[in-house]
Structures are given as C-alpha cells and as structure tokens.
Structure 1
C-alpha cells in the first residue's frame, strides 16, 4: 500500500520503499485497485479498467488537481500491461532528455518491449515541444501518458489532444480521504486526534491526498500524548490554501459561478463564490469590475440603481481598503442577486452592433443631419426637422431611420422592475406615432 499521490516521486523510483521514506511513499498503491477515489476511471467499467482488461493502452492525458494519483496511476498502468515505464518531468526536462527517452524507447522496441512514456506537468512544455511528441506517438514508439493540473483545452495542442484521450481525475472527497487515513493508521497506529479533529484534518486537506498524508506524518512525528480537539489541531497544523491560480481555470470557474448565481437570483450562493475568490487572494477590484458587468448585463434598466450600487462599492473599497472595503462588495453582490433581472440592454447592444456592421455607412435622413454651413442648408441638410419639445406630448413621432433601412427593434424591455414602466412609455409613443403618421 502507499502514496496514491506520489506526483513528485523521483523519476523511475524503485518499487522497494525504505522504512525511512515519507509516509506518502510508503502508502503508494501496488495495484490499480488500491487507488482511492478514482474508481470512475480505474474500475472495471472505467476507461483505464477497460484498457487494462484488453491488455492494450492508448495515449492519454490525466487531468486533475494535485494529490489525486496521476503519477501512481501511470506507473501502475505500465505494470498492469507489461510495459516498460519511462518518465520525464516538463519542469526539469528539456529537448535532450526527450531525445534520450525516445532513443531508449527505440532500443526497447527492437527488443520487443513497449514503452509507456509518462510526462508529468505536460502543460509546461511549449507548443513546439508538444508537437515533438506526435511522430513518436503516431509510430507507436511510445504510449504517451501526460499529467496536468491545468485544463487541457487551453494548455495542450489540438493535434496532441486529437491523439490522446483526456481522463478527468476528481479531487478526493471526505470518504476517500478517510480511507487514506485508515491506511495510514494501519501502518503507523491511531492518529492522536478525537473523532471531530480527524474530520477537521480531512476537511483541511481540500481534496489533496498527499497533503493529508504529510499532515498525518507531522502528527505522528510530534509524539502528542493526548488526542487533540479541532481547535488544538488548528493551532498545531496549517490549513491547506485553496487551489486558485488567478490566471488559470479555477479563477474562471469561480467567477463564472459567481456571475451565474447572481443571474439566478441566489444571493447565498453568490456570496459563497465571491468569498471563495477573496479568501483565496483574488484582487478585490477584479471582483468589483465583474459586479459592474453583471449590473449592466443581467439587470440593466430593470433596476437602474444596480449600476450605481456597484460603482459606489468600487469607490468605497478604494477609499477604505482591505478588509473593511470588502463589505461594500458584499453589499453590491447582495443587491445584484436580489434585483429584478433583465438582459434587454445586453441583447439590444448585440443586435444594434450587428446591424451597424451590416448596414455600413447609410446616411441618416436629411431632416436630422447637421447643417452648420449655408451650403449644407441650401442642399437640404436639416430641412423639415420637427423639434420634439414644440410638439404635443413632447413627441413628434418623426422618422429617424435611414431611407434605405426599415425601422428596427433592438431594445425590448421585460415586464420586470423599472423596465415595466419603460415598456409602457414605448407602447404609448408607438400609439402616438401611428396616430400621427399612420
């Protein structure tokens, strides 16, 4: 048994693990059925399980958070189908290392042995280096197994993705992490924790099995005489920081979740996702900018105050700074989530911009164009303009569209919030227009 999560083991490490090795190494699984938490791919009905049963592997990319077993699965795959295992890390390896790995694979192929080439952190290779794998994969010289914590859609070449199956590994849930601690206790004895503290330790790992085992090893090494309660455990160990790279997928997932929770009028969920971002170190002004976007895209004129609330929150944050200023962002978030919703202005922008691109440089009707010179006035510029303030109801009902273009409808207010009143005005003006001009 052992580290499901030996993603940072030395390359081609021997199977015999020293008693002095870290707990994560000593708990590394010896077979695929010992891998915890990834049964959806390693089990009999999973993609890996089916490949192993058939005795033939296709190239693949293992995509998942840190500490979920990517390296261990790759090593066990090679053993399961009798392949030679070769590993490189995109962090430490260069072109010379890859050439050496391919040369060794070629020698092995001549001896009748197939090679599984494991590439850790494959997304760190640049596009040209990723392309360099293609001829060797296509020739069948190596079966490529890449590991990445980043979204392959963004980080890997389309050509490489077309030749490799992407398998998603899940962050370990509380049940899987509990099983991992059970294995640690079988090897090292009971942890010095109460039941509640054990649950807290599992929660602190945030789905990372390797981190959990490292924390357990720290507890074993401390020779704690009495079981710790959750509060004492929190003082003794540091909690794992949430996985959140400001320029990576986690960033976009959370801002998308925040935006959709606001749009869906769920203030509780919206606050949760905003808190996730801010607690993880997101720049508050980025959140403020996104709140402004939500105000104009999803609320608009259904509640004109929504935009003002967001601008005020941004200014309040800049005036107060952290942590007091975050309260203003919270207030704006709640306001948006509880406001009536309309994307009528957003749709109007899309439609009007498309129409402007399609119609090119059509001239406005002569009655509403500017006539700053006598020559232009003599040419008919501005002739017949009806000054609306002189008309009954302050509305002339004149035509403002180019002669070559029929009137269009871009903005259609919804029957919610303030836009209900706007819809009444538009209906009234349309009625007057028909009465006066037919």
Structure 2
C-alpha cells in the first residue's frame, strides 16, 4: 500500500466493445484457492484472539476437515500455535486452542520526522514488541545522513527482535510530506524535494546487517500510517470513516472512508496542514501563505506561547505545563490554534462528512485546551448540525497508535493476506 499512481484493473464497462475493457483475471486454480483459504483461517484466528478448529470452520464457512488441513500447514510454517484445551459444555472431545504465534513473522515500521525517529516491531497479533525513539534534529541534514541514522536505529530494533525469535519480513518507512513510488516529492519541514528514500534506507540497513537477507522496504506518508494504526488499534469501535490529524512540526492529515484510506488520484489526499486558514497569514515553507500549519503546527504553538520554537519535545512538555498552570500566554496560544483548527476542520467535515475527527501527535495531550474553541467552530460552521460543542466526535488519538506501529502492522497485513509466501522466510520482492 503506497501512495502511488497505480493502474486500475477494473472490469469491462457495460456495453463496452472488444479491446476497450481491462483484461479479466484468470480463474482461480486449486493452489490459488488454498492460499486464499490459508489467509482466511489465519485472519479468523487473529481476529478472535484464540479459537478452535470447529470455531474457525463455523466462522469462515469451510468444513472442519478443510480447516484442520489448513491449520496444520499454518502450524508447521510457524504462523499459529496451540495452547491447551477448551471445553464447550457440550458432548464431544474438547478443542485445542489456536492462537497466532508470538514468534516468527513480524513487521518493522520506521517513522522519520523532523525532530525524531521512531522504530517499532510488531508481531502477527499486532502487538508492539520493540520500540526505540531517538530525538534528532533532522532539519537541513542531508537526506542520506537522515536515512542512515534511521537505519542505525532500525538495525538495533531488529537485533532486539531477533532475541525474541521474531523475523521481520519487511520495513515500512513513514515519512512527512508527499510520498509516491518510493520518492518524497516534497517535505518542506525536512527541506526535501524529490528525494529517493527506499533504496538508500535499504542499502544503509543492509550494510549494518552483513550476512543477513536484505529487507524489502516500502514508504508511505506518516499521517496515513498513523491513521491506519488508529483504525486497527485505537479503539474507534464502530467508527470506520474519520479524519486524522497528526500534529508535529507540520500538520499532517489522512482520510479513512469505510475502513480504507482515501488516497486521491495521485496518493496525496489529506494534506490538511496546507489548507489556507487565513489568506493574508504568515508565509509557509510550502510557498503559500496562511496555511493551518502556521497557526497550529508545533513551531507555531511554541512561538505563540513564548517558548523557543525549536525546543521540540521538551518545549511541548513545557507548553502543556504552562497551560495546566493557567498561564495566559500559553492558554491564549492554544485557544487561537484551536480556533484555526476548528475553522479548517469545519470545511473538511462539510466536504467529507466523517464520523469523527481524531487529533494525534502533539495534539493528543493538548486536547483539553484545543477542543473548546475547535468544537465551537465546528458547531457553528458544520451544516449538518451533528457537531454540537458537547459532541464526542472530536477526540484524541490512542496512545498506542502511531505511524511507526501503523507501518509495522501494514507489513504484517501483507503476511496475513498471503501467509504461504512468507512461510519459509523466502519472500522476495516488495512487501
């Protein structure tokens, strides 16, 4: 899943003549059906947390004999494990409890942001097993240096994963800005323009791990991956359509509609940080004026509160401390940012009609001060009338969901979709 310009293999148009429709896929053969059913069984066990063969058969609609055969293959290849017996209270033999394995296949996520690098390894269940975060000033540094730093942190995370008998099968980079086909088209806050990221990172990581197979590397916008993490791990309940904002040095955004990312024609949808909040506002690094980022980005928040705008995480902690103490300048800065957030969010809500707006990154701990003015704007400007000030639709992100975890989980999703390709550690090509 990358923000790429991808060809669509749609079916024939009604009434379309010969040569005008896309080619149809070949019919599924026995091997294709088995691979699909392997994934079906594995995902059923993962979704349930633990299950019996009989329970899986009932859920996926296959015979018990077919499920037993598939389960044996998944046990042999290390995707599932057995742990004790379960008693249903009915006649018959107790069933063996199946769970996804806590060793073996895993995913690696690497978030490179302006002032930090975060690396995460998750297992098949989506559990965060390794987490490393280093606060680094990546502004103005050569891209090769930044990618090399990130590779060094990733190499340490992989070593820790190996100690836990985990086998990451791919790496997913989470990058700020416009990302397409492995290239960062534009990341104003990093100062990157048309920077190839995947190959340099993969080469740097391989150089740090001699004798080991090179990991396939993919890249994606960081807000998109954070939104996926929120969808999968954030406790959204029945919410399947939402707008996610990632507050960092810049302001990233992602749209999830019906449980799927809305990418746009070129993969660049969601760049809400560069929506103009005030046409005569401050100059933005993107070249425009008055972008939301200039009012609600991390640097803008710190500057407005009278704190060094380059202070990073310690500065944000100080801002929260001052706001909690009721310091006028800090509270005013957050109130103004919340108002601008609400103004821009109102336009987005009117356009896309999401079930919720989720504020992540630096916004999460600041929501008590951002939410009242933002909610007031939403209440006034959203035409549906579904966003009153008391609405829980504007909410903080989960502390367990971020871009690095979303990236690692996306690698695991690929393995869950086609476990046969990853069974023996011989998966080749892109994750």
- When Rg is computed on C-alpha atoms for both structures, the one with the higher figure is 1
Larger RCO: 1 or 2 (CA < 8 Å, sep 6+): 2
Pairwise TM-score range, normalised by the shorter structure = under 0.3
Q: TM-score, normalised by structure 1?
A: 0.22
Q: TM-score, normalised by structure 2?
A: 0.22
More helix by share: 1
